[in-house]
Amino acid sequence: GAVVSQHPSRVICKSGTSVKIECRSLDFQATTMFWYRQFPKQSLMLMATSNEGSKATYEQGVEKDKFLINHASLTLSTLTVTSAHPEDSSFYICSAWPQGIQGDTQYFGPGTRLTVL
Amino acid sequence: SQQGEEDPQALSIQEGENATMNCSYKTSINNLQWYRQNSGRGLVHLILIRSNEREKHSGRLRVTLDTSKKSSSLLITASRAADTASYFCATEYGNKLVFGAGTILRVKS
């Protein structure tokens, strides 16, 4: 089956610093990737849709200048949390929509646990 | 909000029993999917049911969809301790997935 990886799996940073999270589709190409945020004991909330070769589309209430998304290639999207604060601590999950593979399933990465001190 | 609702929020059962989780949503959908998430981990896709389907089976899983009531149910039969996890329904709008609040299932051995 299709595999999506995320790196790092866990990161701890100081308040005010920036953190980059990578999402890679390992065995398929994805023109579209998605970034979700999940707070403890809550559901996943879509943050933005990452489009290869164009600007990301952000959901209402998500600050595009704070959460920078770059979809550099058909297999890589990055999320940079800029000037992170403790309230940005969360579980960030990406997913990818395979092109050319039958079915409507998005494939999810294993997630990145961000802790901002 | 387009986010669906799930009930129960939490469910605790004995190994071998069946577990039923329900999901309701608000607008017309292309399909509805169920996912499992073990604590602190990513999501595992369980099953997808299209809007023109009423029931689907996969191993010990049975999913129903009632588009007139805008609801779906996930039944896990003969539950195992390894089924302990959070279960989410997700509805597809365009190319976006909107997740329900989730049900935390605990299967006691």
B69 touches chain A (CB under 8 A): no
A54 touches chain B (CB under 8 A): no
Task: Identify which of A2, A68, A62 has the alpha carbon closest to the alpha carbon of residue A37.
Answer: A62
Our CA-based measurement puts residue A32 at a distance from the nearest CA of chain B, in whole angstroms, of 9
pLDDT tens across A14-53, in order? 999 999 999 999 988 888 899 999 998 899 999 999 988 8
Percent of chain A surpassing pLDDT 70: 95
**Sign of the dihedral defined by the CA atoms of residues A85, A76, B42, B20, in that order:** positive
For residues B86 and B80, give the distance between their C-alpha atoms in angstroms, rounded to a whole number: 14
Task: Identify which of B35, B73, B64 has the alpha carbon closest to the alpha carbon of residue A43.
Answer: B35
Question: Which one of B42, B92, B99 has the shortest CB-CB distance to A110?
Answer: B42
Give residue B95's pLDDT: 76
Q: Which residues make Cβ contacts (< 8 Å) with residue B11, sequence separation at least 6?
A: B19, B21, B103, B104, B105, B106
- How many other β-carbons are positioned within 10 Å of the β-carbon of residue B48? 19
B100 touches chain A (CB under 8 A): yes
Q: Which residue of B has its CA nearest to A98?
A: B95
Strands B85-93 and B31-37: antiparallel
Collect all residues of chain B within an 8 Å Cβ-Cβ radius of residue A49: 95-96
> Does residue B104 have a pLDDT over 90?
yes
Place of tokens 């901002």: A116
Place of tokens 């996930």: B74
